[in-house]
Amino acid sequence: DEYAAVLASLLNASPAAIVFVDVEGRVRFANRWIETFLGVDPKPFVGRPYAELAEALSRSLADPRGILQHPADPEACSLDSWSEAVEVARPERRHLVRTVGPVRGPGGRYLGCIEVFIDETGAIERQRLLEERNRELDAFASRLAHDLKTPLVSLKGFADLLARSAGPGLDERHRMFLERIRTSADLLNEMVDGLRELSRASRPAGELHDLDPLPLVKLAAEHLAAEADEAGVRIELPESVPLIRCERAKLFQIVQNLLANAIRYADPSKPDRWARISFESRGDRVVLEVADNGRGIDPEDLPHLFEPFRRGKSAGQTPGMGLGLALTHRLAQACGAGMEVLSRPGDGARFRVSFPAASAAPASPAA
């Protein structure tokens, strides 16, 4: 009895609503958080059939079907545990995660079923606010890019006109000033275009489809063939790939950006330079990997690799705005894909993008 009292105190102190149902289907314990989260005083239901408590709890839910169709039934939960999201409509709106699972004693003897409700309202609200702020920032970036585009086009146009009409009559010093204006205008134009692409990439993908990535991979390699030849980089493509679920245009841009990055940061000191694209099925995901034996990435730069307008130490004098990987990361997120990178200076880099697998995914044959 003393240990039971201690256990009850611990469970009442827990920041989760907890119900224990014995093998006969009767409520043996329900802590105070049941009333806090769901507005139901559990004390009258202790010793009563769980179905009565479930009926009372269901009246607090926005959708009562979950708790009624999948109750904390001792027979059902003796086999497995499960979790589901539930929304509380009253006494106040909350977002809970409900988990139901078996309780076993010494020797694995089945004692009953435990039902736990964890309040995720704060985390969900913070996520909603973060997404809202991100949408506002993307909208601001899009508007800013649009508003800057017109004066930039005018600036570049007048600078070009001045170069054609008055350039031959200028001395070397003033021609240098004029060229700096034109170069700066081009640079600002690239930045504005980058901002616009970045805001577009953050938009959720359209309807996702099961698709064969191989034709898009080959097309990206064809587009970059001349650049690869100039850099002395051999592009290696897979012979077959599993089907994935994605938006076609976004997948093409992801592959092309990662392959272009591998070519751009090739190590000229290595006689054999390569960039390799591969796909691997991992359960309900398909992982795209773009690997190379280029310069690699400094460990200090890895945490900031997907931040826009940030260039790492290994970039050196290589042209770029520091937008390619940030854009690729946002494209992957818009498709429901995760992205990671493994790299060490001098050992190249391996970028991995984990896509949802297609609903039925036989490998595509090599052409």
Q: How far apart are alpha carbons 215 and 228 in whole angstroms? A: 19
Cα-flanking dihedrals φ and ψ of residue 223, to 5°? -65, -30
Asked if residue 136 and residue 22 are part of one domain, the reply reads: no
Tokens in use for 37?
């989260």
Q: Which of 75, 102, 119 is the last residue of a domain?
A: 119
Dihedral sign of CA atoms 170, 172, 174, 176 in order? positive
Q: Is 233 in the same domain as 342?
A: yes
Determine, yes or no, domain membership for 254.
yes
* Last residue within a domain, chosen from 119, 146, 166: 119
Domain boundary among 155, 184, 201: 201
pLDDT band at 14 (very low <50, low <70, confident <90, very high): confident
Amino acid at 248: R
Mean pLDDT of the region 223-242: 93
Which has the higher per-residue pLDDT, 287 or 361?
287
Q: Are residues 169 and 75 in the same domain?
A: no
Q: Is 342 exposed, middle or buried (0-12, 13-18, 19+ CB in 10 A)?
A: middle
Residue 362 lies in a domain: no
Q: Which two tokens stand for residue 240?
A: 């077959």
Tell which phi-psi region holds residue 205, choosing left (phi > 0), alpha (psi between -120 and 50) or beta: beta
Contacts of 186-189 spanning 24+ positions with Cβ under 8 A:
186/156, 188/148, 188/152, 189/149, 189/152, 189/153, 189/156
Per-residue pLDDT of 75-88, as tens digits, reads 777 777 888 889 99
Q: Which CATH number is 188's domain given?
A: 1.10.287.130
Q: What is the pLDDT of residue 260?
A: 93
Contact predicate 256/223, CB 8 Å: yes
d(CA 101, CA 116): 9
Q: Does the residue 366 lie in any domain?
A: no
Range of the domain at 336: 209-356
Instruction: Say if 364 falls within a structural domain.
Output: no
**CA nearest neighbour of 38 among 98, 79, 81:** 98
15: domain CATH number?
3.30.450.20
Q: Per the structure block, which two tokens stand in for 100? A: 């139901």
Residues 331 and 194 in one domain: no
Look at residues 102, 82, 96 and name the one whose alpha carbon lies nearest to residue 39: 96
Identify which of 99, 116, 111 has the alpha carbon closest to the alpha carbon of residue 33. 116
Model confidence, pTM: 0.54
Q: What is the DSSP string of 129-194?
A: HHHHHHHHHHHHHHHHHHHHHHHHHHHHHHHHHHHHHHGGGS-HHHHHHHHHHHHHHHHHHHHHHH
Tens digits of residue pLDDT in 90-123: 888 899 999 999 988 888 888 999 999 999 988 8
Residue 247 resides in a domain: yes
pLDDT in tens, 316-328: 556 556 677 888 8
Same-domain pairing of 214 and 331:
yes
14 and 56 both lie in a single domain? yes
Q: Are residues 131 and 107 in the same domain?
A: no
Percent of the chain with pLDDT strictly greater than 70: 85
pLDDT at 2: 67
Residue 94 and residue 164 in one domain: no
**220 and 348 assigned to the same domain:** yes
Query: Beta-carbon neighbour count of residue 99 at 10 Å?
Result: 16
User: The CATH number of the domain where 220 resides is what?
Assistant: 3.30.565.10
Condensed to tens digits (0 to 9), the pLDDT of residues 269-281 reads: 999 999 999 999 9
Angle at 317 between CA 314 and CA 321, to 5 degrees: 85
363 assigned to some structural domain? no
Q: How many structural domains are present in the chain? A: 3
- Let me know whether 215 and 350 are in one domain: yes
Q: Is 57:44 a contact under the CB 8 Å cutoff?
A: no
Q: Establish if 365 belongs to a structural domain.
A: no
Same domain for 23 and 76?
yes
76 and 197 in a single domain? The answer is no
